[in-house]
Chain A
Amino acid sequence: MSWNHLKRFGAGAVLAVAISPVWGAVADVPESQEPIKIAVQEAAGQYFNAHILGRVLEEAGYTVEYISAGYYPQVQGVADGDIHMALGLWSSNIGEGWMELFDSGEVLDAGEIGYMGVETWYANDAALAACPGIENDIMVLNDCAQALATAETFPKGRLLDYPIEWGTTNELRIVALDLPLVSQPAGSEGALVAEIKSAEERGEPLLIQFWSPHGIMADHNLTEVGLPEYFDGCYEDPAGGVNPDATYDCDWSAARIWNTAWPGTPDQWPVGYRILQNIDMQPQDQIEMEDAISKGADMDAYIEQWLADNQDRWQGWIAVAQNP
């Protein structure tokens, strides 16, 4: 590094300290000049969260780089240090092989994103009309299952299920609750969304395993159906619940949504890592964002707007990270 570079860098650092009234003076942020690499996926919700984190880190004084990555491959990227931070892993679909990387410490568990994932069965408006009361009690299906039937499932109704590889438990649930349903796996998120759109266009009833928050909820009305509530031990102990002889006689448990980081992150950017741990998003943020985007808002402009509107929140994350 030449003297000129050093001088310019020094001036920049002085300037940065001068204009950062709250945190600039407290710790030597950034502890490393290396950019922090954050994984971004092709889904709007994850993009939003990742860029909020990135912008907050930038506000704290870090340089950030976004790496586009597939959902599963990103975990390997985090283990190797090619990605430093990744947000929003769902406990319901990260398989055991990937979890081993957490157990062995090859990737870090950086805490929850701030909200739990809701996973359950949803009915569209046509299904609510065909099965009145399904939003309160799933047992009304016994009288209206044929309205949900397709060629493969007749005379039983069809539950459009998660792809097998996401680890669905609905077949057990259908047996435990003795419902006239057949679970048909959809294969991918795109297929699930396409079915929701298609059913709406046709006005056909649809019963679907889905999750919230999700962008589709901004455009399409999906109502949670009345499965017996989840309770501790429902998945393990047959005795509890409506069916004393079966496990899974209840709704899905809430999914843990957590963030992960490369093990070198806390050493290289201690404050940055604590910011990741402090991040606290809410389902409302997702719902409002999806709504704005579906109405044609520009994502990057919306992120800046969000930062301006929620200054207290994210400045709090930084402040706590500065003074643990």
Chain B
Amino acid sequence: MDGAGVVPSRGGRKDLVVWAVTFALIPASIVLAADHAWLLRIEEGAGLPIPWLFDTVMDWFTGIFKPVFRAVSWLVEQPLYGLRAAYGWLPWPVVLIAVSTLGWVAGGRGLGAFCGLGLAYIVVTGYWDEAALTLALVTVALPLALGGGLLLGVGGHRNANLRRLIEPLLDFMQTIPTFAYLVPCLVLFGFGPTVGVIASATFALPPMARAVMLGLGRIPGEVVESAVMAGVNGRQMLWLVKLPAAMPTIILGINQTILATLSMVVIAAVLGSGEDLGWEVLATMRQAKFGESLLTGLAIVFVAMMMDRITQGLARRSGRPPGAPRTGWFGHRYPVLTTVVLACLATLALSLLMPPLRSWPQAWVVLPHEPLDAAITWINTHYPEVTDSIRNWTLFYFMLPLKIGLDQVVSPFSWGFALTPPLIGGYAILVTALAALAARLAGWRGALAVVFAGIVYYFGLTELPWPAVLVPAAVLAWRVGGWRIGLFALLALAFMLASGFWLRSMLSVYLCGSAVAICIVVGVSLGTWAALSARVSTLLRTVNDTLQSIPLFVFLIPVVVLFKVGEFAGLLAVVMYAIVPCIRYTEHGIRQVDPSAVEAAQVMGCTRLQLLVRVQLPLALPEIMLGINQTVLFGLAMLVVTALVGTKGLGQIIYQSLANGGFGEGITAALCMAFIAMTADRVIQAWSLRKKREYGLETD
């Protein structure tokens, strides 16, 4: 992002005037909308024929390029089928020995034991064959994602014009839900495992490309200069100097790419990747078998964690200087490797004699799903009043007012009384008082934020006329991030309006926004706690890793059993997934606060609480904002999945498009989603950068 466009935060009078005009517009549009509803309230589906346009272009495109894609599909299939056969053929003890050793080499005894136990879990639960298929898919998709990411990253690093093209492309790849382009993918690549591979690789590529660009951009000038003096040519410079120097950052990208690939396993199963772990999750979810789907999900978690930890360990090892060269015959030089190879060969031979070593007998399978199911049933039968009141309370006091406004929600049934004019007056006074308080604490900008929240809470996001949402959002983007981001936000919102998906977009914003609000409150608290306590930190890291790599479909069933279908169930599912970055970044942000600042505060006699509230949290704020940014992106991505428990909004349109075998509607809705995500991302990033500069944390 260009630094020149950032508006200084204490821009004073001009800012105030802009905001005063913007806020005058909100009541004006509400009043005008009563008489000119046709102009200020857009009906569902009333828009330009954008979906039709997409359909037409796609028909033309598939007509011409189908053979090319089919050829690609054939190419991808060959290694995939080969790997499937190979993984399926390998007896499980051989894999167990080899992978545990690899884990041990990469990360010590603990990781070796973890790999052994993880694989043993997969064997004993009888998911070995399914895991082999999943692994084959990942083995093909991962190099595609990593290779493609490397290529795009290097290209973007070398050429600034190319970079300007690549970055939005990466944004779209990450924010457009896969389901939206499923139908054209099927038509282009044909039915089969390839579509799943391509979809996984597409989704998993961006973190790698970004990490490569970031890493290459951060290499100290001296490194490059000394290489130039040593006389390296362009290719050597890239492969032997720059990429190795950027490796620590790239490793992070590789790990994110691994997790992203595995998170696509279930979606790949919908596309026909075979009877793998993802398929098993779908099958059990369809029959609402929570226990079994959770146990299958755990198998995916184990695969993801093993791959993640082993690559991290190997990367750390490769950073160490090599030891003294060993001499002697092969077995002498590499005792571990030799022992393992011999052990593998021995088990392989043994497995030919003993069938249970080849494939785990069905009769020995242990799948302890009953206790899990029983736990959910127990809560459901013993505490229905508790789950019901949590649900109703959240709906009446939080979600429904945001959606349709207090003026429609408050009734004797929901709140216990009707909304009378004195009560409305009381509400206005309350909002004013809160705004005054916010003005004292955070300046007039804080007061405006409170007033806007008060308006939304009273009228409801989906009931406000569109200018009352569009204009403040665009102005906010402009004032925070400069005119480029402001223009982007304006065009993005205009697209939602023009495509006829404005109401759907607002439903998605409302659901995702409610979830993000909860994530911020809970996530920042948990993250703070983790930063202060090592034990909590360890525990939360395991929970976070599991939540990030387990297929979320697994949680939909218990959520529906306990809380019924609808928006509250959707909210919970979104929170479970999107809270992870909020916790992680908060902990990281607090931990990396300059120790001298903490010391200084302690010397000045701050109590523990004061230290946290006055020093650590404010200094960690830019980092926390980046976490919230990720939370917004994760939350939007989850909206497609929550459509499976009956939430409306853009996600539902995308499914509807799939059922109709269409493309245009789905991709238009998906673009709306991507635009919401990208606008939020740009604004929050700009704001975080500005704060960092204010604190002198980052200069450029």
Contacts and interface: CB of A to CB of B under 8 A. Distances in A.
B191 interface: yes
A189 B565 CA distance: 12
B288 interface: yes
A105 interface: no
A72 B565 contact: no
Contacts of B660: 95-98, 165
A164 B395 contact: no
Interface stretch (B253-261, B272-280, B339-347, B669-677): B272-280
B569 to A, nearest CB: 8
A155 B391 CA distance: 17
A95 B187 CA distance: 16
B2 to A, nearest CB: 43
A98 B269 CA distance: 20
A109 interface: no
A7 B43 CA distance: 73
B377 A201 contact: yes
Contacts of A295: none
B380 A201 contact: yes
Nearest to B665: A97
A77 interface: yes
B644 interface: yes
B193 to A, nearest CB: 10
B192 to A, nearest CB: 6
A82 interface: yes
A187 B661 contact: no
Contacts of B183: 76, 97
Interface stretch (B13-21, B350-358, B485-493, B553-561): B553-561
A72 B659 contact: yes
B388 to A, nearest CB: 8
B661 A72 contact: yes
B186 A166 contact: no
A80 interface: yes
B452 interface: no
A190 B557 contact: yes
B647 A187 contact: yes
Contacts of A43: 283, 286-287
Interface in A162-190: 163-167, 184-190
Given A188-B645, A191-B556, A198 B396 contact: no
A317 to B, nearest CB: 27
Interface string B645-668: 111100010011011111000000
Contact of B646 (A151, A154, A191): A191
Interface stretch (A17-25, A63-71, A276-284, A305-313): A63-71
Contacts of A82: 190-192
Interface in A213-265: 215
Contacts of A193: 286-288
Contacts of B557: 190-191, 194
Contact of A163 (B286, B414, B562, B646): B646
Main secondary structure of the interface of B (DSSP, over half): helix
Nearest to A196: B288
Chain B contact residues (Cβ within 8 angstroms of A): what range?
35 or more
B288 A197 contact: yes
B186 A190 contact: no
Given A68-B279, A202-B384, A76 B186 contact: yes
A163 B655 contact: yes
A75 interface: yes
Interface string B375-401: 001001100100000011001100010
Contacts of B286: 42-43, 188-190, 193
Contact of A187 (B190, B195, B270, B643): B643
Contacts of A100: 661
Contacts of A184: 565-566, 646
Contact of B561 (A68, A74, A97, A198): A198
A155 B414 CA distance: 11
A151 B562 contact: no
A268 interface: no
A160 interface: yes
Contacts of B380: 198, 201-202
Contacts of B556: 188, 190-191, 194
Contacts of A70: 269-272
A21 B326 CA distance: 72
B41 interface: no
Interface in B535-569: 556-557, 560-562, 564-567
Contacts of A95: 659-662
A93 B660 CA distance: 9
Contacts of A42: 279, 282-283, 286
A205 B186 CA distance: 42
Interface string B165-186: 0000000000000000011001
Interface string B563-588: 01111000000000000000000000
Chain A contact residues (Cβ within 8 angstroms of B): what range?
35 or more
Contact of B564 (A150, A155, A165): A150
A202 B642 CA distance: 24
Given A76-B191, A150-B564, A191 B644 contact: yes
A73 B272 contact: yes
B200 to A, nearest CB: 15
A193 B414 CA distance: 28
A93 B557 CA distance: 23
A191 B645 contact: yes
A154 B279 CA distance: 38
A169 to B, nearest CB: 15
A152 interface: yes
Contacts of A154: 413-414
Nearest to A77: B191
Interface in A61-115: 67-70, 72-77, 80, 82-83, 93, 95-98, 100-101
Nearest to A151: B392
Nearest to B411: A154
A164 B652 contact: yes
Contacts of B642: 187
B395 A73 contact: no
Contacts of B195: 73
Nearest to B413: A154
B521 to A, nearest CB: 22
Contacts of A202: 380-381, 384
A93 B656 CA distance: 10
B288 A72 contact: no
A152 B566 contact: yes
Nearest to A166: B659
Contacts of B192: 77, 82
A291 interface: no
A68 B662 contact: no
A185 B384 CA distance: 22
Contact of B565 (A165, A166, A191): A191
Identify which of B192, B561, B564, B642 gathers the most chain A CB atoms within 10 Å of its CB.
Answer: B564
Given A150-B564, A184-B646, A185-B646, A201 B190 contact: no
A195 interface: yes
B278 to A, nearest CB: 10
Given A164-B652, A195-B561, 7 more contacts: A42-B279, A70-B272, A152-B400, A160-B565, A164-B656, A185-B565, A194-B556
Interface of B: 182-183, 186-187, 190-192, 195, 269-272, 274-275, 279, 282-283, 285-288, 377, 380-381, 384, 391-392, 395-396, 400, 413-414, 556-557, 560-562, 564-567, 642-648, 652, 655-656, 658-662
15 contacts: A68-B274, A77-B272, A95-B662, A98-B660, A100-B661, A160-B565, A163-B655, A187-B642, A187-B643, A187-B644, A190-B644, A194-B556, A194-B557, A195-B561, A201-B380
Interface of A: 42-44, 67-70, 72-77, 80, 82-83, 93, 95-98, 100-101, 150-152, 154-155, 160, 163-167, 184-191, 193-195, 197-198, 201-202, 204, 215
What are the nearest 9 A-B pairs in CB distance? A97-B661, A77-B191, A95-B660, A42-B283, A165-B659, A187-B646, A193-B288, A98-B661, A188-B644
